[in-house]
Amino acid sequence: MNCRDIDGMLVERPPASPFSAEVEDHVRGCMRCRALVSALGTFAPGDLPSPATLRQIESGIMSDLHPVHPVAPRLQVFAALIAVFVCVVAVGVYRLGAFAIAVMSPLQVSVIFGVLAVCTGLLASSVVQQMVPGRRHRIPPRLLPVGIMVALGVAIAVLFQFQQERNFWARDWACLKTGIPLGAIAAVPFWLVLRRGAILSPSMTGAATGLLAGLVGTSALELHCPNLHAGHILVSHLGVAVLGATVGFFTGILADTRNTRAVWSAMRRADEETLR
């Protein structure tokens, strides 16, 4: 056993578990390892919270102690998000009509709706993880919304053709006017489902939820709009999702600012009470 093995053991070892005899032998004989192990387990005694601070924290908590219901289990939240997504898209398409399916090739249908389904699943799963602090993320929440928009953009650019289009902006505006309300309708139940969680990074969760709501509009437009020009789909269909993510991001920043101010004012109140 050498010093490198000791480093590996220190990293892997479960906290507070005893050293093996082999490790102890090495540490006893190696001055460098002995110094390291000793320093890692030695703390300055002055660094303990003062009883006054602990009392102040406790009294602050006790003055507002009441039972709370834990947030719903992960699977339930995930199912709720997907159910809302599917319901709003279904109602939207029922009202508008699914004219796009008839004009798209089977390849276009399967790829674009496959990508949309995967992106929706990943996004919903990430939002569910972000609801509770200390959850592990397979894909970093900062990267996921950007990655999804890029993936959808690439899929659209590859599957559909770029052509000159008359009344480009008028047609785009018509689709945006149809897609945005659907996204806004979906955003309300999404907020109801998520409002009790997502406290660590509201801006990131806001962006992800906004994008999810925007994808409701994008999916409905993909089923409804028979205009298969790539430029039109990128600007007006995917635009609904981008707009949703942007609005969600800024809403999250506002919520974060409000929460932080509430915590600071609670701390000020606690300080004032202590001074009194």
Partner 1 sequence: MKCGVENVGARQTFVAVDRWMERYQQADPEAPAALIGALSPALLRFFRSQVASREQADDLLQETWLRIHRVRHTYRPGEPVLPWIYAIARRVRIDGYRRTRRVAAHEVAMETLPELPVRPEQPHTRPCFDTLVAALPDAQREVLTMLKVGGLSLEEVACATSSTVGAVKQKAHRAYQRLRQLLQAGAEEDREGASQ
Q: Where on the chain is the footprint of partner 1 (CB under 8 A)? A: 3, 7-8, 10-12, 14-16, 31-32, 35-36, 38-50, 53-54, 56-58, 60-62, 64-71, 73-74, 131-137, 140-141, 196-197, 199-201, 259-260, 262-263, 266-267, 270
How many CA atoms are closer than 13 Å to the CA of 197, on its beta-carbon side? 23
Closer Cβ to partner 1, 194 or 247, answer by number? 194
Least distance (Å) between residue 16 CB and partner 1: 4
> For residues 153-181, b (16+ Cβ closer than 10 Å) or e, as one string?
eebbeebbeeeeeeeeeebbeebbebbbe
Closer Cβ to partner 1, 201 or 246, answer by number? 201
Closer Cβ to partner 1, 98 or 199, answer by number? 199
Contact of 162 with 230, CB cutoff 8 Å: yes
Closer Cβ to partner 1, 29 or 46, answer by number? 46
Closer Cβ to partner 1, 8 or 226, answer by number? 8
Q: CA angle 194-239-149, nearest 5°?
A: 70
Least distance (Å) between residue 130 CB and partner 1: 9
Query: Residue 82 is inside which H or E element, if any?
Result: helix 74-96
Least distance (Å) between residue 139 CB and partner 1: 11
Closer Cβ to partner 1, 6 or 238, answer by number? 6
Least distance (Å) between residue 47 CB and partner 1: 5
Least distance (Å) between residue 147 CB and partner 1: 16
Q: How far is CA 163 from CA 99, 118, 204, 226, 228, in A?
A: 20, 28, 35, 15, 10
Contact of 220 with 163, CB cutoff 8 Å: no
Least distance (Å) between residue 144 CB and partner 1: 12
Integer Cα distance of 176 and 8 in angstroms: 56
